[in-house]
């Protein structure tokens, strides 16, 4: 089962060109939604204005090598290892979801556009989906601050939950559809339709969800590390214990 491309089997019912056009449309929605978010919220303007003010107030002049080193630290610690999270549980859940999402999306694109018979990409598609489910549902039911710390119901929904809910719905419905599709189970096309709806909400709701944050956070983390290095934020209190060894370049809040 895990070695079969569910989108190839789908081609007997839906032309491959339809799925390819749909994938392109989702990419366009993400790009357009991110640009709208940048313009509407003024994120890019705020970032560059803050960057210029930081450079003007800098106490230490940074060389090219130092900036490159900070960029590498940002990529490794803040982006690849999610160093912003102080809670180990939250960090692990985030990493499972993040890498699972990347695997799932990339393998989806490859399987939709490629006619390769290799079983690598189907395996990665299932693995990515399962990682998203493990990390996402773990976060949703056991780690969310309003559930773990405030005792609210895990079924309580707010606008801030749009991204994670649509992500979990898309991946879960996709896995159910693929299972039924490959096993000839009834209702496969019903779950495929629901999968398309959830996926459209996921990629079409960028301006209103936290989806666009994944593009802004690396830039913000880099700017914070530069600010600490050039002395702009030297007057701010750091963590109480070993301030030079924090995960991300800021006075880290506590996540539960």
Residue 107, domain extent: 6-40+64-229
194 DSSP assignment:
H
What per-residue confidence (pLDDT) applies to 245? 42
The per-residue pLDDT for range 144-200, each reduced to its tens digit, is 766 655 556 667 777 778 899 999 999 999 999 999 988 876 789 999 999 999 999
Q: Tokens 């649509």 appear where?
A: 166
Q: Scanning the structure block, which residue is given the tokens 């709701």? A: 205
204 found inside a domain: yes
**Is the residue at 1 inside a domain?**
no
Structural domains in the chain (count): 1
Q: Is residue 244 part of a domain?
A: no
Q: Where does the pLDDT of residue 254 fall: very low under 50, low under 70, confident under 90, or very high at 90 and above?
A: very low
pTM of the model: 0.77
């Amino acid at each position: 089962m895990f070695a079969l491309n569910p989108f190839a089997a789908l081609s007997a019912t839906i032309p491959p060109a339809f799925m390819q056009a749909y994938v392109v449309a989702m990419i366009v929605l993400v790009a357009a939604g991110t640009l709208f978010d940048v313009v509407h919220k003024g994120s890019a303007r705020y970032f560059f204005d803050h960057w210029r003010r930081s450079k003007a107030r800098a106490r230490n002049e940074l060389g090219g090598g130092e900036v490159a080193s900070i960029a590498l630290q940002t990529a490794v610690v803040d982006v690849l290892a999610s160093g912003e999270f102080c809670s180990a549980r939250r960090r692990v859940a985030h990493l499972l979801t993040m890498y699972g999402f990347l695997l799932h999306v990339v393998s989806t694109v490859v399987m939709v556009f490629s006619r390769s018979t290799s079983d690598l990409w189907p395996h990665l598609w299932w693995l990515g989906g399962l990682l998203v489910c493990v990390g996402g549902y773990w976060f949703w039911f056991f780690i969310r601050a309003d559930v773990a710390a405030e005792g609210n119901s895990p079924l309580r929904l707010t606008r801030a939950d749009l991204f994670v809910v649509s992500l979990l719905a898309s991946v879960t419905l996709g896995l159910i559809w693929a299972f039924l599709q490959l096993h000839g189970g009834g209702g496969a096309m019903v779950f495929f339709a629901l999968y398309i709806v959830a996926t459209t909400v996921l990629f079409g709701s960028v301006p209103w969800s936290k989806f666009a944050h994944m593009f802004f956070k690396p830039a913000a983390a880099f700017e914070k590390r530069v600010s600490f290095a050039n002395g702009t934020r030297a007057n701010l209190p750091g963590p109480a214990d070993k301030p030079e060894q924090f995960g991300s370049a800021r006075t880290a809040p506590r996540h539960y």
